[in-house]
Amino acid sequence: MLADIAHYLQLLKQTLFLNRAAFLELSKTGFNIAILVVFLAGLSQALGQSIVLFINKVSKRRFFFSLVLNAIIFTVGFFFLAISISFIVSFAYHQEKALKTVITITALAYLPYLFSFLTLAPYFGSFISLMLSLWNLAALITAVSVVFSLNIYQALAASILGWLLKQILRATIGRPIQDLSKLIKKSIAGKPLEFSKQKLREIISKGKK
Amino acid sequence: MPDFASLLLILSLAFLFLASLAPFEALGWWAGWYGDDEEADSPVNINSNKDNFVVFLTGIHSVSEETYARREIRLLDNLKERLEHSEIIEVFPYSASNRDLTGERFFSWFWKTALKLKMNRLSLAGLVINIRNIFQVTVSADSRYGPIYNQGMAHSIYQALLEAGYKKSSKTPITIIGYSGGGQIAVGAAGYLKKITKSDISVISLGGILASEASLLRLEHMHHLIGNKDRVQRLGYIFFPGRWPIIKFSAWNQAKNKGIINFVDMGPVDHTGKNGYLDGKAILADGRSNFEQTVDVIVEIIKSDMKTEQKNR
C-alpha cells in the first residue's frame, strides 16, 4: 500500500516536470488519482481566489463550504474540457481513445493548479497565476501529444481548440448549469455574491460598514 | 540530502506559502471574522487643544504598538519635547485588525518568544519578525489587498487619535511619520484617514519603502527623507513599477508633478543601525549627529506644514 502511494507520488512528481513516460503510465492506471488532482486543484484555486468571498463578507463557516462548492464546480468545468479535447482530436486527427483515458490525461495536466493557492501571495500573485496557466498549457500539450501520438503543434492546436469549444459549450448548453451553480453559491454563501471587478471595487470603496 | 536546486525550490515554495498567508488577517478583518471593531476607549485627554496630531508608525522590527527600539523611543521623546503644540501617538502598523503580535492572538506565545530571543540578540528571531512584517507591507502595497489593509490601518489610527483626544469633525491637521516599512503603510492609510477625518494630512516617510499609492494624490504633502547610503528605501523604487519615471500616469509620478512629494536629502546616512537616520554617534559635516539632523528635519517640516495649514484655514 505504502509502496503504491510512493510510486504514484513519484509518477505525479515526474508528470509535474512534463515527463512523457509518467503521463503514459498514469493514463492507463491513474484515473481515480487524476480526478482527485482536479478536485484538489479546484480547492486550491478557490482558495487562491477567495478574496471575492472575503470582500462579500461571507462568514467563516460558509466560507469553507463555498470553497468546496467552487472546487466541485471547477471539476465539472474540467469534464467539459476533457470532452471537448476528445471531440476535437477525433474530429481533426481521426484519433479515438477511450473517454476515460482522455479524462485522465487532461486531469493530470491540472497538476500545476495544485499550487493555485499561492496566487494569494501579495505582489507575486499575478505572476504566479500566469506561470501556472502556462505550466498547465505545457502539461496539456505534453499529455495530448503522448496519448494521441501527435506532434507538439498538433497537440497545441487540439488543446487550444478544445479550450475554445469548452467556452462555447459553457456559453450554450452549460448556461443552465452555470445558473444553477450561481444559485447554489448564493445559498451556501448565505447572501447574493458580487463577482465583477467593478462591483467588488465599489464594495471596498464604500468602506467596511 | 537534497541537491541545491531542490533546496532552492523548497525554500521558494516555503517563502511563497508564508506570503500567501499574509493577507488573511486583513481579509478576515474586512469580513468581520474577528468580531465588530472596537470603539475607541474614553479619550485620555478630552480637552486636547493641540494644534496637530502626529502619528508614528514604527519600522518592521516591531511586534506591538509601543516601540521598544531605544533609538525610536529617543526620537519620540525629542519630538514630544520640541513639538509642544502637537500630540504624538504610536500605532502598530503591521496589523489591519489593530492587534499587537504579542496581544490576543493564537500565536502570541510565538511572537513573545521571538521578541525575547531578539532582545537577547538572536538575530534569527529578529529576522522572523521582520519577514512577517515585510509581508504586511506588501499586502498594503498590493492592488488587490491594499485598499482593504489600508482602510483597516486608517480605522486603527482614527481610534488611536480619538483615544488621544482628537475631536471628531475638528479637522485638526494630522501628520503621519512612517519609518521604513511604516512609510508605505502611512501613505496607504493616509488617504482613507483623510476621508474619515476631512483633516489636512501630511506624511513624513523616514527612509520609507514606498509603492505608487493612489492615496498620495489625496495628501497635502508627502515628505520623503532619503539618506544617500540608504539602499533599503530603494527597494520601493526597484520593486514597484509605478515609481519608475517611464510610467507617466502612475499615482507616484502624478503626485511628483503636482508637488505633493517633497524629496529631502539627508546626506550620507544609512537606513538603520550604525550611521542610520537615528544614530546619535555618527557625525555629519555640519557637526550634528544623524539623529539630531533627523529630529531637526522632522520638527521643521511639521512646523512649516502647520504654518501653511493655518494660513489656508
- Supply the DSSP string of chain A, one letter for each residue: -HHHHHHHHHHHHHHHTT-HHHHHHHHHH-HHHHHHHHHHHHHHHHHHTTHHHHHTT--HHHHHHHHHHHHHHHHHHHHHHHHHHHHHHHHHH-----HHHHHHHHHHTTGGGGGGGGGGSTTTHHHHHHHHHHHHHHHHHHHHHHHHT--HHHHHHHHHHHHHHHHHHHHTTTHHHHHHHHHHHHHHHTS----SHHHHHHHHHT---
Question: pLDDT over 70 for what percent of chain A?
Answer: 100
User: What type of residue sits at position B178?
Assistant: G
B30 → closest Cβ in A55, A121, A124: A55
Please give the pLDDT value at position B242. 95
Q: Considering the entire predicted model, what is its pTM? A: 0.89
Range with the poorest average pLDDT among B36-45, B100-109, B253-262:
B36-45
A122 → closest Cβ in B28, B142, B151: B142
Q: In the predicted model, what is the mean pLDDT of residues B94-103?
A: 75
Residue B38 CB contacts under 8 Å (≥ 6 apart), including other chains: B98, B159
Q: Residues 68-127, chain A: which have Cβ within 8 Å of B?
A: 115, 117-125
Please give the pLDDT value at position B99. 72
> Among candidates B100, B111, B113, which has minimal Cα distance to B65?
B100
Q: What is the largest CA-CA distance in chain B?
A: 69
Q: Residues 126-165, chain B: which have Cβ within 8 Å of A?
A: 135, 138-139, 141-142, 144-145, 147-148, 151-152, 155
CB of B237 closer than 8 Å to CB of B256: no
Q: Locate B83 and state its grid cell.
A: 513639538
More confident site: B294 or A186: B294
Please give the pLDDT value at position A91. 85
Q: In the predicted model, what is the mean pLDDT of residues A142-159?
A: 90
Edge-first strand order for the sheet with B201-206 is B86-91, B52-57, B174-179, B201-206, B221-226, B261-265
Indicate whether A46 pLDDT > 90: yes
More confident site: A168 or A1: A168
Q: What is the CA radius of gyration of chain B?
A: 19
Please give the pLDDT value at position A184. 83
Mutate to test the interface with B, among A123, A191, A197 (most CBs of B within 10 A): A123
Range with the poorest average pLDDT among A25-29, A78-82, A171-175, B69-73:
A171-175
The Cα-based distances of A149 to A93, A95, A152, B198 in angstroms read 10, 9, 9, 68
Q: Locate A62 and state its grid cell.
A: 460558509
A120 → closest Cβ in B20, B151, B155: B20
Side-chain-facing half-sphere of A149: CA atoms under 13 Å: 4
Mutate to test the interface with B, among A51, A54, A205 (most CBs of B within 10 A): A54
Residue A134 CB contacts under 8 Å (≥ 6 apart), including other chains: none
Please give the pLDDT value at position B90. 92
DSSP result, chain B = ---HHHHHHHHHHHHHHHHHHTTHHHHHHHHTTT-SPPPPPPPS-TT---SEEEEEE--TT--SSS---HHHHHHHHHHHHH-TTEEEEEE-TT-TT---TTSS-TTHHHHHHHHHHHHTT-HHHHHHHHHHHHHHHHHHH-TTTHHHHHHHHHHHHHHHHHHTTPPTT----EEEEEETHHHHHHHHHHHHHHHHH---EEEEEES------GGGGG-SEEEEEE-TT--STHHHHHH-GGGSTT-TTSHHHHHHHTT-EEEEE--S-BSSSTTBTT-SS-B-TTS-BHHHHHHHHHHHHHHHHHHHHHHH-
- Distance between CA atoms of residues B76 and B67, nearest Å: 10
A188 confidence band (pLDDT: 50, 70, 90)? confident
- Distance between CA atoms of residues B75 and B45, nearest Å: 22
For B121, counting Cβ atoms within 10 Å of its Cβ (0-12 exposed, 13-18 middle, 19+ buried), the class is: exposed
B310 confidence band (pLDDT: 50, 70, 90)? confident
B40 confidence band (pLDDT: 50, 70, 90)? low
Indicate whether A162 pLDDT > 60: yes
Indicate whether B282 pLDDT > 90: yes
Please give the pLDDT value at position A195. 77
Indicate whether B241 pLDDT > 70: yes
Residue contact A122–B139, C-beta within 8 A:
yes
Indicate whether B45 pLDDT > 60: no
In this structure, chain B runs to a length of 313
Q: In the predicted model, what is the mean pLDDT of residues B30-43?
A: 73
Q: What is the domain partition of chain B in residue ranges?
A: 4-312
Q: What is the domain partition of chain A in residue ranges?
A: 2-196
Q: Cα–chain-centroid distance for residue A116?
A: 10
pLDDT in tens, B57-95: 998 887 766 666 788 999 999 999 999 999 999 998 998
Q: In the predicted model, what is the mean pLDDT of residues A17-21?
A: 91
CB of B268 closer than 8 Å to CB of B230: no
Side-chain-facing half-sphere of B45: CA atoms under 13 Å: 13
Please give the pLDDT value at position B66. 63
Instruction: Name the class of domain B4-312.
Output: alpha beta
Average pLDDT, rounded, for chain B: 88
Please give the pLDDT value at position B155. 93
Residue of A nearest to B152 (CA): A208
Please give the pLDDT value at position B46. 59
Residue A136 CB contacts under 8 Å (≥ 6 apart), including other chains: A109, A110, A112, A113
Please give the pLDDT value at position B68. 66
> Alpha-carbon dihedral of residues B182, B307, B217, A119, nearest 10 degrees?
10
| Structure ipTM | 0.85
